[in-house]
Amino acid sequence: MLALAGVSLDVSEGEIVGLVGRNGAGKTTTMRCVMGIVRPDQGTVSWLGHPVGQADRRRFGYMPEERGLYPQMRILDQVSYFAQLHGLEVDAANASASAWLERLGLKARAEERLVALSHGNQQRVQLAVALVHDPSLLVLDEPFAGLDPEAVDSLSQVLSDQAEQGTAILFSSHQLELVERVCQRVVILDDGRVLAAGTLTELRRRFPAELRVKVDAPPEWAKALADTRILRADQEGVLLIVEPGVDPQTILRAAERAGKVEHFGFESGGLIDLYRQVVSR
């Protein structure tokens, strides 16, 4: 069974990269390769120009998709324990654990066992474990899964703050609107292959866009446009599929020649639309 086939991606310091794809696309396997949990048959994982070793990975923070912590362990002790495993001394580990629990709104529950917390709060503890040792790279597998909107906003802010401090962040999610909001770059996986990678702007330029034009004239004016086709025509005008490279001004001039232009604007270009176009090819 082939899990990954030639996946290559990079994450820079201070950058948030979103890894998206359907179930079974290879997102988790990719992350597990980065963390050394599985070893690829071919290829390398490099950090700062050299192959990743155990010492490098101790500087990484990881949050697996299945929340993995000790259910009967008190959360402050647990976060401190993982900090010590990552090389912090006891006092520094305790201090960092306390600080992160406070920042994530769990200070009052520091002495409670993990099992006593709600799903969302357990996820916060998991995030604290990933962040407590001030990692250089954060690898988060579905960190927003199951969170309420407030928790999503809170976590998004944490990730943004960490990126501003120079942490490289790679996370996967099925919530494309969230990825679009938080990430600078996106990597789209399917069947173990990278289908597309880049910023949203770069991706938009590579794929057709939807342009709605409302002219007080029949839609035939649009049929003669090159590298453009009519998706549908209704009382709101015509919805055009515009291939990459087409100058919108050309379409605008054609519409003005046909009649009075009441509306001219791109309707798509969001990550959801881009994702659908990418995977459908």
Partner 1 sequence: MTRLVARREITERVQGRLLRVMTALTAALVVAGIVIPSLVRGPSRPTTIGLVGRSAEALAPALQRSAAAAHVRVKLHSIATDALARSEVRSGTLDLALSAGPTGVQAEVKQSLSAADRSLLQATLDEAHLVQTLARAGVPAVTIASALTPVPMTTRALEPSSPDRQARAIAALAASLLMYLSLSLYGAAVANGVAQEKTSRTAEVLLAAVRPEQLLGGKVTGIGLTGLGQLAIAAAAGLIANAFVHSATIPGSVWVLLPSFLVYFLLGFALYAFAFAAAGAIVARQEEVQFVTLPLGMILLGGYLLVYAAIASPNAAWLRVISFLPPLTASLMPARIALGHVAAWEIPVDVLIMILSIYATARLAARIYTAALVRGGARISWRDAVQLRAR
The residues binding partner 1 (CB under 8 A) are 32, 35-39, 54, 57-58, 60-73, 77, 81-82, 84-87, 129
Q: Which is nearer to partner 1, 47 or 81 (CB)?
A: 81
Q: Which of 184, 124, 111, 194 is nearest to 154 (CA)?
A: 124
Count CB atoms within 10 A of the CB of residue 234.
10
Q: Which is nearer to partner 1, 50 or 281 (CB)?
A: 50
> CB 143 → partner 1: shortest distance, Å?
13
> What's the rounded Cα separation, in Å, for the pair 168 and 237?
44
Alpha carbon distance 100, 203 (integer Å) = 36
Cβ at position 129, least distance to partner 1 in Å: 7
Structure tokens at 248: 């919108």
Measured CA to CA, the distance from residue 163 to residue 13 in angstroms comes to 8
Complex with partner 1: residue 59 or 181, whichever CB lies closer: 59
Which C-beta is closer to partner 1: that of 122 or that of 277? 122
In the DSSP assignment, the letter for residue 88 is: -
Residue 196 main-chain phi, psi, to 5 deg: -160, 150
Q: Report the run of H or E that residue 212 belongs to, with start and end.
A: strand 209-215
**Which residue's CB is nearer to partner 1, number 73 or number 152?**
73
Nearer to partner 1, 64 or 219 (CB): 64
Least CB distance to partner 1 at residue 31 (A): 10
Nearest distance, CB of residue 85 and partner 1, angstroms? 4
In the complex, least distance from residue 207 CB atom to partner 1, rounded to whole angstroms? 34
Identify the three-state secondary structure at position 21: coil
CB of 3 or CB of 240, closer to partner 1: 3
Contact 69, 78 (CB under 8 A): yes
- Give the closest residue to 162 by CA, choosing from 128, 188, 120, 198: 128
Give min distance, CB of 253 to partner 1, in A: 57
d(CA 163, CA 12): 10
User: Torsions phi, psi of 24, nearest 5?
Assistant: 85, 10
Distance in angstroms (rounded) separating the CA atoms of residues 246 and 32: 41
Token pair in block for residue 241: 């599929």
Residue 94 β-bridge partners: none
In the complex, least distance from residue 132 CB atom to partner 1, rounded to whole angstroms = 11
